[in-house]
Structure 1
Amino acid sequence: MNTLTAPNAPAPASAAFAAGPYSLRQLPINLYGAVMGLAGMALAWRLAVPVFGAPAAIGEAMGFFALAVFLAHSAGYLAKLALHPEAVRKEFTDPVSGNFFGQFAISLLLLSCVLMPYGQAFSQGLWTAGVVVTLALSVLVGSRLLKGKLAPAHMLPVWIIPGVGVLDIGVTGGHLPMAWAGEINLLAMAVGAMVALVLWTLIIHRLAHGEPLPQGMRPSLMILMAPFAVGFLAWVNVFGEVDRFAGALFYFALFVFIVVSPKVFRRDVPFSPGWWAISFPMAALANAAIVYAGARGGLVLHVLAALLLGLLTAALAVLTVRTLHWVFSGRLFATA
């Protein structure tokens, strides 16, 4: 996916980077997608403990790694805000990159769920902060959409991120004990479902009638699956059962995954941090598959869930290695 770029003044070279001049101005907000994917994978491996007998340590270790990535990226982005506030402002107001700020809110919600076993009060506070930020961003997205004069070319899959974030309130807060949490979860289900459905329809219309996405933005097609996989998890967590409607959401998410995968996993799609767009939708689908297999039973569903979990783990391992290479080689911060 494209990230906002702006002309920069040359920065001093550093021996730590081999790519020449670099600047925190280039640090993209969409790296919070890595936190989302890693936290989602941690939750999937946690679900795999009772269903597949997986070692509990795997999911817990992944959860702390997701937390470390969140802290590192937040520190870097706060430094960017302090040093280059105009670059952050341009990202936030851009009709495309502005939607990536929803990844920060989703990261808060997912980490609240990851950290729940280690401190309920802290986890509840983190979830509450995530709810406030998520709802505020959803109002902002709605205002931008109704403002009019939005270029059809800007109606891209990343617009779904804030809507998915609202659905994630129900995913992560379905079992919280606060008296007001139940009403917030219902509000999130209503707002998230309708916003995601409207935006999904608009984006499909643009993809069907507009120009094909540039190669670098192809990974964002995986986001089209997210409203249905996340919607399944939210429905199950809020209403407490895997009913026929939940099953329909899961199977449609699986259908979208099958349709978009050949367009995403191609050798001619270059690597960039935008590849992390595939991580959270795939994590949501793996979580949904494990929950569905655990509720329905059957060898086929269990094999499917195991395959999706394995594919998710392999994909995120590759993305982590490639991203760390970009960080330590300086390519992530290169100004030229």
Structure 2
Amino acid sequence: MQGPSTTPPFPVFYPSSEVSIRHLPVNLFASVMGLSGLALAWRLARDSLGAPALVGEAIGAFAWGVFVLVSLGYLAKLAKHPQAVHAEFHHPVAGNFFGTIVISILLLSAVAEPYSAPAARAVWTVGVLATFALSFVVVSRLLKGQVDASHAVPAWLIPGVATLDIAVTGGHMPMAWAAEVNLLAGAVGAVLALVLFAMIVSRLVHQDPLAPGMTPSLMILVAPFAVGFLAYSNIVGGIDRFGALLFYFALFMFAVVAPKVFRPSVKFSAAWWAIGFPMAALVNAALKYAAFRASGPLWALATVLLGALSLAMVVLTVRTVRIALNGKLFT
């Protein structure tokens, strides 16, 4: 058995505690993913549970605002400290979090669709191209060989989940080529997610536990199955028993990892945003499956999950604003 890796779970560029934009983490884009997923979930709740329409639309607008703000910050980091961005992108773990950018773009296209279909198609197309490019880079990097097995952490799933999100957000795109792109994305994302999921579980079983700061990323283990359910239902045009299997396994994984993640001993950092999108995907899946089954217990489950996700997003937003204002986000 290999001992603990000497490579830190996230890149360390400067040992000082100096407040600087160079320390802005790329995984902060996960906040956009969580907020966008929450907005889409409240839209589903509006249609199925009669929830106020204003809630989902306000959260969607806020997600767009956060995306613009974080993008400006990261562009400033790229302009002033390109070596820090280069090191982050090539890091064996942190590099996968660049997938949070492309997933954010894909989800925001769905948020924007009711307001401007042409704009949504343009944003989605940009997201598709960027997602396939990132997936190609990540897989090519893995296939070079000599990859430390201790680096097989839940963040590895992000590029695979990103390709599945193409089908999640592109199910209603009217372009003639969209259906084939969705099939391609489903194929790439499903195989990548299953292979990497097996590697990650093997690492978690046979090697040392994750560093405490990476504990929230365990929630990413839910994403391939919740997002897989949403992508599969869009590709086949409905929900069947295989889709139901994906949903129930996502629910099972959530029940397994939630007690490990939600512990007071895990200190807050931007890494906590890793819980947002997997939970949002599960909530959206629960709402769609409850509508399909028209079952009271399933509706109750979906409502509880929506409430838990909403509370989590409020807490994460408030605490992130707090560490941004006191400078800890940039140290």
TM-score range (shorter-chain normalised) is over 0.9
Counterpart CA distance in 2 for 1:21 and 1:259 is 38
User: Greater shift after overlay, 289-298 or 234-243?
Assistant: 234-243
Deviation of 1:236 (Å): 1.0
Q: Could you say which residue in structure 1 is the equivalent of 2:153?
A: 156
- Among candidates 125, 129, 140, match of residue 128 of structure 1: 125
Gap regions ≥5 residues in structure 1: 11-19
Q: Contact 2:10/2:91 (CA < 8 Å) preserved in 1? A: no
What secondary structure, in the 3-state scheme, does the structure 1 residue paired with 2:76 have? helix
Q: Contact 2:161/2:223 (CA < 8 Å) preserved in 1? A: yes
Counterparts of 1:138-157 in structure 2, within 5 Å, are 138-157=135-154
Q: Could you say which residue in structure 1 is the equivalent of 2:90?
A: 93
What secondary structure, in the 3-state scheme, does the structure 2 residue paired with 1:117 have? coil
Q: Could you say which residue in structure 2 is the equivalent of 1:14?
A: none
What secondary structure, in the 3-state scheme, does the structure 2 residue paired with 1:267 have? coil
Q: Does 1:275 align with 2:282?
A: no
Q: Contact 1:2/1:274 (CA < 8 Å) preserved in 2? A: no
Q: Does 1:76 align with 2:73?
A: yes
**Which digits, 9 at most, give the CA deviation of each residue in 1:142-200, with x for residues without a partner?**
11111111111111000000000000000000011000000000000111000000000
Counterpart CA distance in 1 for 2:37 and 2:104 is 9
What is the number of residues matched between the two proteins? 324
Question: Counterpart amino acid of 1:4?
Answer: P
Q: Could you say which residue in structure 1 is the equivalent of 2:168?
A: 171
State, as a whole percentage, how many aligned pairs show the same letter.
58
Q: Could you say which residue in structure 1 is the equivalent of 2:64?
A: 67
Question: Counterpart amino acid of 2:13?
Answer: A
Question: Counterpart amino acid of 1:95?
Answer: P
Counterpart CA distance in 2 for 1:48 and 1:254 is 19
Q: Could you say which residue in structure 2 is the equivalent of 1:5?
A: 12
Q: Contact 1:222/1:257 (CA < 8 Å) preserved in 2? A: yes
Counterpart CA distance in 1 for 2:116 and 2:77 is 31
Counterpart CA distance in 2 for 1:151 and 1:3 is 15
Counterpart CA distance in 2 for 1:302 and 1:214 is 36
**Which digits, 9 at most, give the CA deviation of each residue in 1:97-122, with x for residues without a partner?**
00000110000000000000111111
Deviation of 1:28 (Å): 0.2
Q: Contact 1:222/1:261 (CA < 8 Å) preserved in 2? A: yes
Counterparts of 1:197-236 in structure 2, within 5 Å, are 197-236=194-233
**Which digits, 9 at most, give the CA deviation of each residue in 1:258-312, with x for residues without a partner?**
0001110011111010000000000000000000000101110000000000000
Counterpart CA distance in 1 for 2:10 and 2:20 is 15
Question: Counterpart amino acid of 1:3?
Answer: F
Counterpart CA distance in 2 for 1:129 and 1:294 is 31
Question: Counterpart amino acid of 1:212?
Answer: P
Counterpart CA distance in 2 for 1:35 and 1:238 is 25
Question: Counterpart amino acid of 1:63?
Answer: G
Counterpart CA distance in 1 for 2:138 and 2:14 is 27
Q: Contact 1:30/1:101 (CA < 8 Å) preserved in 2? A: yes
Question: Counterpart amino acid of 2:148?
Answer: A
TM-score by length of 1: 0.95
Q: Does 1:245 align with 2:242?
A: yes
Runs of 4 or more, structure 1, over 3 Å off, are none
What secondary structure, in the 3-state scheme, does the structure 1 residue paired with 2:328 have? coil
> Do the aligned partners of residues 291 and 151 (structure 1) sit closer, same or farther apart at CA in structure 2, a change above 3 Å counting?
same
Q: Could you say which residue in structure 1 is the equivalent of 2:3?
A: none
TM-score by length of 2: 0.96
What secondary structure, in the 3-state scheme, does the structure 1 residue paired with 2:330 have? coil
Deviation of 1:5 (Å): 2.2
Counterparts of 1:283-298 in structure 2, within 5 Å, are 283-298=280-295
What secondary structure, in the 3-state scheme, does the structure 2 residue paired with 1:332 have? helix
Q: Could you say which residue in structure 2 is the equivalent of 1:57?
A: 54
Q: Could you say which residue in structure 2 is the equivalent of 1:195?
A: 192
Question: Counterpart amino acid of 1:254?
Answer: L
